[in-house]
Structures are given as C-alpha cells and as structure tokens.
Structure 1
Amino acid sequence: MTTNTNTFVRPLQLDSSDVLHALYNRPPRELSAHGIRYERLRQLFKTRFPESDPKFIVRAPGRVNLIGEHTDYNGYPVLPMALDRDILFTAAPSNGTTVDLINENPQFERRSFNATFPVAPFERGDWGNYVKAAVHGLLEAGLVSKSKAVGFHAAVGGTIPESAGLSSSSAMVVAAALAFLAANGVECDRNALADILARAERYVGSEGGGMDQAVSLLAEAGHALRIDFFPLRTELVPLRQELTFIVCNSLIRAPKSESVRYAYNRRVVECRLATALLSRAVTQRTGRTVKAERLSDLSSAQLGPAYPELGETARHAIGERPLSLSAVAELLAMTPRQVQREYCMQRDGTPLPEPPDGFRIWNRYRHIVTEAARVGLTVKALKSGDNTEVGRLMNQSHASCRDDYEISCPELDTLVSLGLENGALGARLTGAGFGGCTVHAVPTETVAEFLKKMDVSYYKGYVKREQARPFSSFNNLNDVMFSCHAASGADFWPVGEG
C-alpha cells in the first residue's frame, strides 16, 4: 500500500475526541492532555502575538525506528512508526517575510528571521536552525516563491524527548515546513515534500537519510511504515495488539555536537567508500561497468543474478581490517586528495578528517546489508504474528549496531540487557545512536510488570550506581519510559477565531 496524500488541509475540530483519537490512536480517557496542550498553545500565541489570532495549527509526530538503523541514506529500507508525541505550531501568516517563533519551553529563547533566500543559519546547535532548514529548503526547491514569500508567527510546543533519538529535530523541520506552506497558501504532495525535507535538514550539518521526514509525513495510526528509497515508496504494516513496543531513555543525551556529528558523518563517508570499492570490484570481476551512488545500487536485487556473490566480492575488495586514506586511494587507483574530494566531503564543504584508527569500511558494509535484510524479515514476522521472530531480529540488530556500526554506548547496552532479563522478547537501540533510547518488544499482557522492573533495575538501580556518568534529569517517569502507540502522520488544519 502506498501513501500519497496531496493536501494537508483537514476539516478538524479540536474539541472532538473522535478527531484526537484518530490523530493519536488512544482511547478518549487518555486524550484530555492533548486537548489541553492545543488550547495552551493557542493562548500562548494570543498572549505573545496580540495583534493577530492564530489561523492554523500544525502537528508533526516523532518516531521510533523498530529496525533498520542507518540504512536509509544507503538506499535500503527502514521500519519506523510515528509516535503519539509531537511538535505543535499554532501559527498565523505574518505581514511580510518575518518568521517569529515563541517556544513554550523557556530554555529555547525567542527566534526571529526573514524568509529570504538564502537563509543564513544561527549558531550551530540553535533550535531555530531546524525552522530555518525548512524555510531555506522550500525556497530552494521553488515550492515557495523567493520573491513573494510570506513568513509566519508561531507558538511552538513539543512532547518528544530532546536528543533521545526519537526525531524531535525532524519533526520540528516538518512542522515548520507545513507552517511555511500554509502561510503561503501552497499545497504539496507528501511524498515529494518528504524528499525535499530530507535534503533540507542537511542545512544543520548532518548527512542523514530520509526516514524521519517520511514517517512524520506519511504514517497512519495503528501501523508501522516500511519505507524504501530512491524512489520513495511506503508500505503500511499493521501492528497487532498482543505486542507492545516500549521506549526507554538511557538519559544519555545524543546531541548533534561536534564529536557526535563527526562520528555520524564518518559512517556516511565509510559507506560511500564501501560503495566505491565494491563498484570497482564488481566492474573488474565482470568486465561490465557498474556505477553506484549508494550501497543499495549494488544489491543482488539491483544487479541481477549475472553478478558474483556480493558478500565475498565485498570481503575481497574491502578486506576486514581498517583502511587508511592512502590504502583506500591505492585500491581505487586514485590519489588521497582525489578520494577526499570525491567521497569524503561534508555538508559544510570540508573533507572529513581521516580517522586515527582508519576507515572501518568492512564493518559498516556488513551492518548495512544484514540490517537491510532484517527489515524485510521483521515486516514478514509482524504480518504473521511471529513475535518471537520479531524479538530475535531486534536482538541481532542491536548486536550489529554495537559491534559493526559502533553507535551504542554502555547505557544503551545495559538497557537492552535489562530489558531482556525483565521479559522483553527483543530489544535494540533506536535512532542514530551514541545515546538516546532503546526500544523493547514486550507481550502486551506483561507491559505493566515490565515497566516496574525497568524502573527498579535501570532508573533506580543502574543510574544511581553510575552517578559519575552525565545522565539527564527527569521529573516524570513517563517522560523517559513509555509504551508506543502508532499515531497518524503530520496534520495541518485551519482554526477559528476565539
């Protein structure tokens, strides 16, 4: 099934519990908090922008990725679901190009800029850059006229844990994009918008894929979403009630800091190098020129049966040891400078510095191709109700993320181990890694017991014992450990006066 909705405008009335249920996939008794949030933001808008009334509301959900980590930018599939935690904008068009933002969280200061192309960024790490990324990307793509762009005023709020690997940043980009489109009276195909926003988010400096934007826009309640790329295709995967996915926050923040940005971009570069080395090897072995932009272009499905067994070809082409820049250059019959210019450039136009321990190209390749296979197998297991198999595949995924892609940390590993001890069928880190969250597949009938055990063993146990670690604080346990309920994708709707 392919999701392809051409308009965001929906005749929604927020005082209807049926509408909130459709958005959040929760029973009426759990929806009052969402209604209160919407009204609180409306009142904040009227207080801070007294010259106008809010004209529309935008909502963009976060996501939890069930399996398929770092596969998206390599052209392989992913399997996320949208969360019932989201970013909200209560907004109205401005009288000119000004974009003016008030965040209900006081730690995020007011931000204002002009929607004129090109949009210069704030300092790196500033929350306003995610709004700028959306505005800059839509102007660059021509969806909004560079000469006639209208800005917007917005009161912004969110319930997605920050720096937790649950896509709060991409949800902000999606929400900002919908607000900018609404202010300019522009409608856009959701699939096309997902592609545009995947590119737009690179404005903040990370070389990511398109999963986060696609699931935030295209998800449907009660379903996970298998997403394939280049071109973007989606398949709704029903989630059965007998299995619940639970998120546990490690309390180790996964910010897009310089060190984490380097680690993330390093893996993107290592995958490019794997693509180049394998392309050359296949060409040499077959006598047929093979040009590939990403690893999925070198899959058996793309190349066909006439090509050699790719795993062994990759092993011989790459080797299992880390490679220096000069070693990679020799294998590609290039100079080191040529390799840097062709494969190692970052978003800011500088080459990625050579890792002191060498490029771990084989490990990255092995993770990507095995993780891609696990996505397909997990979809099959979910459809057939084989929850044990779902858990087994999640466990394999975590081991690969930890050992081959090297994006785990002691806290994530501890959460996975404790989750399995406390009754989860499977567990894995979720998101880009280096901190953030784990996701656990738990039989629904044992969820309450599982949550109690995890509270005792991790939050009241491990965290208190390891006080030297840089744990984030929290006030409400439900903010850091919660059951996932597959929500619908992003929405935009007009609101009345009042």
Structure 2
Amino acid sequence: MTAARAARAFRAAHAAACDGVWAAPGRVNLIGEYTDVNEGFVMPFALPHRTWVAARARTDGRLRLHSAAVPGGVVEVRPDDLVPGGVRGWAAYPAGVLWALREAGHDVPGADLHVESDVPAGAGLSSSAALEVATALALDGLGGAGLSRPALARLAQRAENAFAGVPCGLMDQTASACCRDGHVLHLDTRHLSQRQVPFDPAAHGLRLLVVDTRVRHEVGAGAYAQRRAGCETAARALGVRALRDVAYAQLPGALQELATDPGTAGLRGLVRHVVTENHRVGEVAALLEAGEARATGALLTAGHASLRDDFGVSCPELDLVVAAATGAGALGARMTGAGFGGSAVVLAEAAAEETVRAAVAGAFAAAGHRAPRVVGVTPAQGAGRVA
C-alpha cells in the first residue's frame, strides 16, 4: 500500500486531486499496560503498518469521508454535526479530530478525506489512534496551524475520549505521532516527557513477533472502564492523585491499607499490577539502554502474568499464545493493548522464530481456535506527510 494508491483512490472517491497524503502507524506496547490511565510510564513502539489519509481542503467547513474498508460511499459531516455524540461509527474518529482542533481554537478547514489502512482493526494495535493521528496531521497541514506532534497526539486523544466516547489514555496517540525508527518510546504520561530508547532486535540476533489472536471478547469495553474507575477509587482511598504516586517500595503498605476496608479490598490486584508494571517499565528501559535486550524477556512474561492474575484483562487465547511461545523457547511474551482478545508480543531468538511460530499455530489448532495471524515486526517511524 502506498501514498500514490491513496491519492488515486481519493480522486476516484471525490472526483478531484488531493492536496496531500499523511500516514500514521499502529503501535505495539512493549511494556507498560494500563499504566497510562494511571499517569504512569509506558514503552510503545510504532509498527510498520499504518493508516493513510489523502486530503483536500474545503471552504464550507464540512467533512466528506471515504474509507476503502467501509462500504457505502462518502459520509458527509456538517458543521452542526460536530458535537460529541453527533457522529456515529468509524466517521466519529476523524470527525472528532476536527471538533477537537476547532474546540482548541485552531482555524482548520473542512476537508474531503480518503482513508486506507493495513493496521489490523480489533487486534489491539491502535488502529483508531492511527486514524486519528493521520487525520490530525492532514487537517493541521491543510490549515497551516503548525502544531507539534505531542500537541496533535493530545488533541487526538481528546477526540477519542470526548467525541467518540472511548476512555483511552494518551499512549496510543503519542506512540503513533512520536515514535522513531529503531527505538521504543519511554513516555511519562503525567509530565509528557519522552525518551527514545534504542531497540534494534535484529542487531542482537532477536526477533519480535506480533500474534493477533483474531478474537475480541465482548466484555472488553465495559471491563476497561470498570478497571479504570477501580484504579481511581483505589488512588482516592490511598490519598494519592493517581496510582503512579505509589512507589514500588510502598506497595506492601498500600495493599495492607486497602485490605482493612471491605470497599477497597477487592481493588488490591489493580493496585499491585499498576505499581509493579511501572517498575517493570523502568527495568526494561534500563536493560535496553545497557544493551541487554535478551534479559527483557522475563519481564514481558511477568507483565503478562500480572495482567492475567491481578488486573484480569487477559483471555484464554492470549494466555495460550504466551504459554505456547515461551514453552517453545521464546525469551518472553505478553498481551499488548486493552486485552480480552487482540494481540500478544513475543520476543525470541531469531534462530527460534520458526519453532515459536509452529508452536503457537499448533496450540491454536489443538484448542480448536481459528489460526492466529503472526507477523514479524521492527520498531518503525512515527507519523508524517508522505506525499
């Protein structure tokens, strides 16, 4: 898929040439899950897979949206529709970005857009963030606002939270907008400070695999909101702004404090996961900076166990990926994304890649599951204009 193809498809959909093409990638979170909604630390990297948005400015303030993946032709969004809840379906994401830009006081025009993507939807790889960031870049480019990538990421998150109604953290949009080729992004989601940490698996004789289970359990959306609310309740009970403020050394005391109140005792697993996961992020960053990429594998697997047992957001298919991969010699594996389906990330020796792939495929076949989709990935460049 190329920018030229997106430009040709734009002409076919809108009967005119586009002004430019912008692209933004999906992401994999190497470590740091559910820490962003607790003002903590995350370490995502951008995927080679991306969403392309070909765009042309309009003078009437409207959005006219076309997607290669959605039948039904062009969707038109009038200025009066640009209110939270005013647009439904996939169009709410680009429409929400235009709303967020204008609400923030930026004079951006309406636009004709055509969207193409090879980021797998529903796989926990942030296809929605890729669409939002690519749209934000396109609208910013058409309007000449000149916003920074972090600023565009924050506006894209606001679009998803307030317009599309999805209570996501800031990690996905920031990763899509700001990641660099050959690096993972160490992001402090409270202070928004960023550190690019070099990570070139091939240089260490390693291979990163993303395993899309191709399942999505319906419990996901409600359970995400429930756990986020539980973390906020626990933080209030502990007298801190967010669980990020509970230091690793303070964890035993915090768990004991919660245990004394029947109303918060059930939240201990959420707290234990967030605090230990923030600690794991720091450990992985230190290992990568020391050139000890292999040693991160055990931390990935520990993170999965925490997400499964303490935070309760895994599922049988994700657990099977981790068990089969590590059983076949992978250095580590964990679910990535919100959970209840979607994808896992696996770190393996390059020489063991085929063995790990075969083990995962065999385990799924033996369990009667649909074959998973396994893709080798490398940390890629973030969003930008491509034509």
Shorter-chain TM-score above 0.5: yes
1:434 aligns with 2:352: no
Contact 1:83 1:485 in 2 (8 A): yes
Residue 99 of structure 1, aligned match among 46, 57, 63: 63
8 Å CA contact 2:314–2:335 kept in 1: the answer is yes
2:255 equivalent in structure 1: 315
8 Å CA contact 2:324–2:356 kept in 1: the answer is: no
Q: CA 1:370–1:108 in 2, change beyond 3 Å: closer, same or farther? A: farther
Q: Which residue of 2 aligns with 1:245?
A: 208
Is the Cα–Cα contact under 8 Å of residues 97 and 155 in structure 2 kept in the other structure?
A: no
The 1:450/1:260 distance shift into structure 2, 3 A limit, reads: closer
Deviates more, 1:481-490 or 1:199-208: 199-208
Residue pairs, 1:51-200, within 5 angstroms: 52-107=16-71, 110-115=74-79, 118-121=82-85, 126-142=89-105, 144-145=106-107, 149-200=108-159
Counterpart Cα distance in 2 of 1:320 and 1:483: 47
Larger deviation, residues 165-174 vs 133-142: 133-142
Give me the whole-angstrom Cα distance separating, in 2, the residues matched to 1:416 and 1:197.
32
Rounded to whole Å, the distance in 2 between the matches of 1:429 and 1:377 is: 18
Q: Alpha carbons of 1:444 and 1:109: their partners in 2 closer, same or farther (altered >3 Å)?
A: farther
CA-CA distance at 1:121 after TM superposition: 3.2
Deviation at 1:169, TM superposition (A): 0.7
Q: How does 1:28-427 map to 2 (within 5 A)?
A: 34=1, 37-50=2-15, 52-107=16-71, 110-115=74-79, 118-121=82-85, 126-142=89-105, 144-145=106-107, 149-202=108-161, 203-240=163-200, 241=202, 242-253=205-216, 259-279=219-239, 292-299=240-247, 310-319=250-259, 323=262, 327=263, 360-427=266-333
2:377 equivalent in structure 1: 484
Which range moves more in the overlay, 78-87 or 226-235?
A: 226-235
Q: CA separation of 1:109/1:434 partners in 2, compared to 1, >3 Å: closer, same or farther?
A: farther
1:270/1:360 contact within 8 Å kept: no
Asked whether the 8 Å contact 2:308–2:314 carries over to 1, the reply is yes
Q: Secondary structure at the match of 2:215?
A: coil
- 3-state DSSP of counterpart to 1:193: helix
With normalisation by structure 1, the TM-score equals 0.72
Distance of aligned partners of 1:120 and 1:75 in 2 relative to their CA distance in 1, 3 Å threshold:
closer
Quick one: distance in 2 between partners of 1:486 and 1:395? 20
Corresponding residue SS for 1:489? coil
Q: Which runs of 5+ in 1 are unaligned?
A: 1-33, 280-291, 301-308, 329-358
Alpha-carbon distance between aligned partners in 2 of 1:120 and 1:230, rounded to the nearest angstrom:
25
CA deviation after TM superposition for structure 1 residue 154, in Å: 1.4
Give me the whole-angstrom Cα distance separating, in 2, the residues matched to 1:402 and 1:320: 24
Whole-angstrom distance in 1 between the partners of 2:280 and 2:83:
40
CA distance in 1, matches of 2:304, 2:35: 14
Identity fraction in percent: 31
Q: Distance in 2 between matches of 1:450 and 1:315?
A: 38
SS in 2 for 1:91: strand
Larger radius of gyration: 1
Cα contact 1:117–1:139 (8 A) shared by 2: no
- Tell me if structure 1 keeps the 8 A contact 2:320–2:363: no
Name 1:445's counterpart in structure 2.
351
Query: Relative to structure 2, which stretch is displaced further, 364-373 or 104-113?
Result: 104-113
Q: CA deviation at 1:461?
A: 3.7
Change (3 A) 1:141 1:382: same
Q: Counterpart in 2 of 1:338?
A: none
Contact map agreement 2:31 2:42 (CA 8 A) in 1: yes
Shift of 1:122: 5.2
Instruction: Please give the per-residue CA displacement for 1:350-391, whole angstroms capped at 9, x wherever unaligned.
Output: xxxxxxxxx831110000000000001111222233344211
Structure 1 residues 108 and 244: alpha-carbon distance in aligned structure 2, compared to 1, 3 A threshold = farther
Please report how far the alpha carbon of residue 79 of structure 1 lies from its aligned counterpart in structure 2 after TM superposition: 0.7
Equivalent-residue separation in structure 2 for 1:487 and 1:115 (angstroms): 36
In 2: Cα distance, 1:110 partner to 1:415 partner: 39
Distance 2:75 2:84 in 1: 13
- Give 3-state SS (helix, strand or coil) of 2:93's partner: helix
Counterpart CA distance in 2 for 1:457 and 1:311 is 37
Cα pair distance change 1:140/1:106, threshold 3 Å: closer
